[in-house]
Amino acid sequence: MTLIGLTGGIAAGKSTIGRRLAELGAIRIDADQLARDAVAVGSPGLARVAEAFGADRVIRSDGSLDRAALGAIVFADAEALARLNGIVHPEVQRLFAEAQAAALAADPDAVVVYEIPLLVEAARELPFDLVVVAEAPSEVRVARMVELRGMSEADARGRIANQASDAERRAVADVVIDTAGTEAETLAQVDALWDRLRGSAAGSR
């Protein structure tokens, strides 16, 4: 099995790369989705969040997590945020391990792509075989956020400023995919990476 860490700043094109790799045959695991699953209705993670922060404060009437209410609590309180991360992160790691084990059981030669926005910020804890970074200039990313996500320019720039820098991501990158051009140009780079990966896999047999 080959484990790829896929990262990049907000609006840098990670999802485009991840979707293409999945189309080509990779197994795609989305860290953001795992984080949502970690606190889904009926999950152990949600039960622990309710216990830590008060069900009456952070759980809606339908039993789901009130993310806005929880956010208001933790983002103004570093200790509360650390407590939340101490609940959610182990659950995400457990869910990832389950998904990785399922992929390995289905195909020992599988290519697993773990799409993780905060790979650099998380200190690269997982033993990736390859780290792929989606990269585009900040001006291109700001324009995408304004046009496609309806964000203000100030909010877009603030989001970029609060993440790791391009230099920090490049420092852990094995492959950088330039997403500043057309989608076709981005996909061509992904296709070339896939050909390289499959060629390496075939050669190692």
Place of tokens 């790799």: 21
pLDDT tens sequence for the chain (205 residues): 999 999 999 999 999 999 999 999 999 999 999 999 999 999 999 999 999 999 999 999 999 999 999 999 998 898 999 999 999 999 999 999 999 999 999 999 999 999 998 888 765 567 899 999 999 999 999 999 999 899 999 999 998 998 889 999 999 999 999 999 999 999 999 999 999 988 865 555 5
Superfamily of domain 32-108: P-loop containing nucleotide triphosphate hydrolases (3.40.50.300)
Q: What is the pTM of this model?
A: 0.86
Residue ranges of E strands in the chain: 2-8, 27-30, 111-115, 130-135, 175-178
Calculate the CA dihedral of residues 74, 123, 162, 134 and round it to 10 degrees.
-130
For the domain 1-26+110-205, what is the CATH code?
Answer: 3.40.50.300
Q: Is 165 helix (H, G, I), strand (E, B) or coil?
A: coil
Q: Do domains 1-26+110-205 and 32-108 have the same CATH topology?
A: yes
Question: Which residue, 120, 196, 128, 100, is CA-closest to 165?
Answer: 120
Alpha carbon separation from 112 to 54, 106, 108, 122 (Å, rounded): 37, 12, 11, 19
> Tokens representing 150?
């309806």
Q: What is the pLDDT of residue 20?
A: 97
Query: Other CB atoms closer than 10 Å to residue 170's CB: what's the count?
Result: 13
The domain segmentation of the chain, as residue ranges, is 1-26+110-205, 32-108
Q: What is the pLDDT of residue 164?
A: 87
Burial 102-119 (b: 16+ CB within 10 A, else e): ebeeeeeebbbbbbbbeb
Phi, psi of 27 (to 5 degrees): -100, 120
Q: What is the pLDDT of residue 79?
A: 94
